[in-house]
Amino acid sequence: MSSSENNRANGPSERYFSAVGAGAAILGLVTYVISALLHPWTPPHETQAAFADYAVESTWALYHLGELLGILLMCTAILALTWRLRRGVAGVWATLGGAAMVVCAGVYAVFIAVDGVALGILVDRWAEAGPEQQELMFETAFAVRQIEGGLFSIQWLMFGIAAGLFAGAFFASAETPFRLGWLSGMGWLSVVASLGALSFGVVQAQTGYSDLSMAFQTELYFGVVWVVAVGLFLYRHPVHVDTLDEVSHREDDEQRHDPAS
C-alpha cells in the first residue's frame, strides 16, 4: 500500500482522534484552570496558615477532582498526539512520550488522592481536635503534605520527560529542526516545556514546598503553552502528510504572492 493510500485508509479515524484531542486539550486546560482558581491561594509551605484556610473549605475534594478531570482530558490530547505522530522513527519517540504522559497522569491521580482527599480529612481533624491532640494531628497532616510534595515533583518530572520525548518525535518528523515550520516549531516548544518541568521537578524534590520551588513554578507556564500548542497542532494538521513542513512553507509562499493579501 502506497503512502497516499495508507493516509486515505487511516484518515477518518486519525482525523477524528485529532479532533477529539484538540477539543480535549482546550477543555482540559479550562477545566483545570477553573478548578485551580477555586483553590485557596495561601502558599503550601506556609503550613499553619494554609491548613487553617483548607479547614474552612467545604468543597475541597470537589475542585481537586475537577483538577484531575482537567489533567485526564489533557492526557487524552497527548494520546491523540501520539496516534497522530505514530509513523516511522517519530512513532518510537511519540509512543514513549505517550507512555510517560500516562504515568504522569497516574501519579497525578495519586497526588489528588493524597492532597484532595487524605489531607483535607486530616486538616479537618486537626481543626476539630482538642488542645492535647492538635500538635499530633498537625504533624500527621504535615507528614501527608510531604508525601504530596514528593508526588508533585514526580508528576512534573514525568511531564518533562514526556515533553522531551515528543520533542524527539517532532524533530524526527520535521525536514530539519532548524527550518521554520509546524513540526520543528513544536519540537523546540517541547524542549522548552520539558526543561521548565524538569527544572521545577528537581527543585521540588530537593527542597519540598519552599520559596525556591514556588519561584520555579513559573517555569510550568511553558507546559501550559505546550498543551495549547498541541491542541492547535491537532486542529490545524489532523492527519499525517509526508512533507508537512513543505506544505507549511508552500502555504506561506502562496500568501506572500497572493495579490489580494
Q: What is the DSSP string of 161-226?
A: HHHHHHHHHHHHHSS-TTS-SHHHHHHHHHHHHHHHHHHHHHHHHHHSSSHHHHHHGGGGHHHHHH
Give CA–CA dist 239/19, Å, rounded: 10
pTM score, two decimals?
A: 0.86
Q: How far apart are the first and last CA of the chain?
A: 40
In this prediction, residue 178 carries a pLDDT of: 67
In this prediction, residue 58 carries a pLDDT of: 87
Q: Which parts of the chain have pLDDT scores under 50?
A: 1-4, 7, 10-11, 245-250, 253-254, 261
In this prediction, residue 175 carries a pLDDT of: 72
